[in-house]
Structures are given as C-alpha cells and as structure tokens.
C-alpha cells in the first residue's frame, strides 16, 4: 500500500517535469510558477 502511494506521487512529478517551464523554472515570481504548476497538473490529470 505504501509503495502504491509513493509510485503515484513519483508518476505525478514525472508528468510535471515533462513540462519544460516547470522543470527549468523560467518564471521568477512565485505566483507565476504556482500557476504553471496548477495548469500542468490539471492538464496531466485531465488527459
């Protein structure tokens, strides 16, 4: 059960890292970075 949860979290971060803006963090402001993370998470879970 613990492995299943850890695996789900690792897959989520792997999907987020696919987005270049999030992986490299071009946005210097925290609000822009957070909005990019939210948008990428919504897209990756929607697909």
Amino acid 19: pLDDT: 73
C-alpha 16/C-alpha 37 separation (Å) is 7
| Predicted pLDDT at 34 | 84
Cα–Cα distance measured from residue 30 to residue 32, given in angstroms and rounded to the nearest whole number = 6
Q: Print the domain residue range for 13.
A: 2-46
Residue 21 has a pLDDT of 66
Q: What are 1-47's pLDDT values in tens digits?
A: 888 888 888 887 887 777 776 667 677 788 888 888 888 888 877 76
Q: What is the pLDDT of residue 47?
A: 61
Number of domains in the chain: 1
Between the alpha carbon of residue 25 and those of residues 22, 32, 33, 44, 46, the distances in Å are: 5, 10, 7, 18, 23
Tell me the whole-structure pTM to 2 decimals.
0.52
Do the beta carbons of residue 22 and residue 15 sit within 8 Å?
no
């Amino acid at each position: 059960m613990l492995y299943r949860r850890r695996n789900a979290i690792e897959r989520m971060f792997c999907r987020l890292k696919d987005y270049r803006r999030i992986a490299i963090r071009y946005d210097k402001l925290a609000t822009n970075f957070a909005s990019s993370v939210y948008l990428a998470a919504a897209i990756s879970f929607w697909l």
